[in-house]
Amino acid sequence: MTATSATTLAARVANGTHARAIRLWLYAVAALVLAMVLVGGATRLTESGLSITEWKPIMGVLPPLGEPEWQAEFEKYQAIPQYRALNAGMSLDAFKTIYWWEWTHRLLGRLIGTAFLIPFLWFLWRGWVAKALRPRLWFIFALGALQGAVGWWMVASGLAARVEVSQYRLATHLVLAGAIYVALLWTAQQIGAAQQINGRQASPFPPPLAGQGREEAGTRIRVTAIGLLILVLAQIYLGALVAGLRAGYAYNTWPLIDGALLPDPSQLFFIAPTWRNFFENILTVQFDHRMLAYAIFIVALAHAFDVERAVKSGAGRVGAFALFAAVTLQVALGILTLLWRVPLPLALLHQAMAMLVLTVATLHAANLKLRTSAPLIPAPTGIPAGAG
C-alpha cells in the first residue's frame, strides 16, 4: 500500500467514525424522546399531569426533600380545581405517587435538552458537523425548547377553570414530540445515506424492477411512504384529542358507533361553529379517529402490495410489510382498548404501539427517500471523491 492510499484510507475511516458517532447520538436522543412520550402517556392516564403546579426549569430539577416540602407541594395541588373535583381527600402518599410521574416526565425533558445540546456543541467544536446539517440540528434543538414551553402551556390550561388540560394543547404537545422524534430518526438515516455515497458503497435499498414505468413506480412508492408517515402523525394528533376528551370511555362498541356504522349527522355536527365538532364533540372526534385508522390500514396494505410488485427484494419490501403489520396490530389494540373501556395496561400498550408505528413509518419512508446524495457529513479534507 502506498503512502497516499494509506492516508486516504485513514481519512475515510476517521470521517466514517465521526458520522457514526453523530448517528448514534441522534438515535440515543430519539430513544429518550420515545421514553418521554411513553412516560407522558402514563402521566396522563394516571391523572398525574397537574400534580406540579409551577414551572421551574432550573430549581424544579430537585424534588421535595423532606416532609415540609412535600406538604407545601401538596397544598399547591389542593388549591386547583382538579383536586377538589376528582381527588378530594387524597392522602399525601397518594399525592407523592402522581407527583413522581410528572416529575419524571419533566426530568426526561431536561435530560433530552442536555443530551442534545452538549454533544452537539462538542461535535461543532471538533468540526464533525457538515455545514448543510448545522441549520437542521439547530432547528431540532429549537423545536425541543419550544416543546418545553408548549408543555407548560398545556399544564397551565388545567390549573384554573378546568379539571384537566385542554385537548387542543395536549394534542399539540404530543404531535410536536412526534415531529421531533421523526426529525431525529430521519436525520440519522440521511447521514447514513450520505456515508454510503461518500464511501461509494452500494445502496441496500434495491431499485424498482426495470421496465416501462420504473421511475414512476419508484416515485409513487416513495410518495406513498411519506404520505403514510404524515397520516400516522395526524392519527397521533387525533388520538390525543380522544384522550383529552376522554372519548375512549364513550361509544364502546365496534364496528358500530352510536348504534350505526355512520352516525347521524345531527349528532356529529351539533356544535356551532361546525369546525369545533372536530375538536370538541366526543362522537365526532372518536369517529374521525376510527375512520383515519381504517384509511391508514387500507393505504398501508395497498402500499405493501405495490412495493411487492415493483421492488425485487431487500429493505424496501421488508419495511413496507413491517409497517403494514405494525398498523394491523395497532388497529387491533385500538379496538380492544375501546371495547374494554380503556384499561390502563391496554391504553399504555396502545400508545406505545403508536410510537412503534411512527418509528417504522419514519425509517421506511427515509430508507426509500434517501437514495439521492446529501452532503450531510464533511468530505475527507483534501481528498477528492473516489480518490484512492
Which pLDDT score, from 0 to 100, does residue 6 have?
46
Q: Which residue, among 101, 94, 82, has the nearest Cα to 158 in the 3D structure?
A: 82
Question: CA-to-CA distance for 115 and 109, rounded, in angstroms?
Answer: 10
Within-domain flag for 348: yes
Residues 218 and 367 in one domain: yes
Question: CA-to-CA distance for 370 and 384, rounded, in angstroms?
Answer: 23
Q: Is the pLDDT at 309 greater than 90, yes or no? A: no
Residues 151 and 270 in one domain: no
Residues 188 and 223 in one domain: no
Residues 188 and 238 in one domain: no
Within-domain flag for 310: yes
Q: Is the pLDDT at 268 greater than 60, yes or no? A: yes
Question: CA-to-CA distance for 156 and 48, rounded, in angstroms?
Answer: 14
Contact 36, 105 (CB under 8 A): yes
Query: In total, how many domains does the chain have?
Result: 2
Within-domain flag for 382: no
DSSP 386: T
Structural domain including 330 reads: 202-377
Within-domain flag for 262: yes
CA 265 to chain centre: 33
Which pLDDT score, from 0 to 100, does residue 18 have?
84
Q: Which residue, among 138, 136, 148, has the nearest Cα to 110 in the 3D structure?
A: 148
Cβ neighbours, 10 Å, residue 110? 14
Question: CA-to-CA distance for 380 and 257, rounded, in angstroms?
Answer: 60
The stretch 116-134 carries a mean pLDDT of 92
Residues 60 and 163 in one domain: yes
Choose the final residue of a domain: 146, 166, 201: 201
Q: Which residues contact 121 (CB under 8 A, 6 or more apart)?
A: none
Which pLDDT score, from 0 to 100, does residue 369 have?
76
Residues 214 and 93 in one domain: no
User: Grid coordinates representing 286?
Assistant: 372518536
Residues 24 and 160 in one domain: yes
Q: What pTM value is reported for the model?
A: 0.89
Within-domain flag for 383: no
Within-domain flag for 309: yes
Q: Which residue, among 103, 144, 50, 40, has the nearest Cα to 352 in the 3D structure?
A: 40
Residues 72 and 21 in one domain: yes
Which pLDDT score, from 0 to 100, does residue 199 have?
54
Cis peptide before 135 (omega within 30 of 0): no
The stretch 112-123 carries a mean pLDDT of 96
Residues 57 and 135 in one domain: yes
Within-domain flag for 5: no
Which pLDDT score, from 0 to 100, does residue 313 have?
63
Contact 175, 361 (CB under 8 A): no
Residues 180 and 246 in one domain: no
pLDDT band for position 160 (50/70/90)? confident
Q: To which residue does cell 475527507 refer?
A: 380
Within-domain flag for 388: no
Choose the final residue of a domain: 201, 230, 255: 201
Choose the final residue of a domain: 171, 201, 231: 201
Greater confidence (314 vs 263) lies with 263
Q: Percentage of the chain with pLDDT > 70?
A: 85
Question: CA-to-CA distance for 350 and 344, rounded, in angstroms?
Answer: 10
Residues 250 and 312 in one domain: yes
Residues 162 and 235 in one domain: no
Q: Is the pLDDT at 326 greater than 60, yes or no? A: yes
DSSP 159: S
Question: CA-to-CA distance for 80 and 127, rounded, in angstroms?
Answer: 50
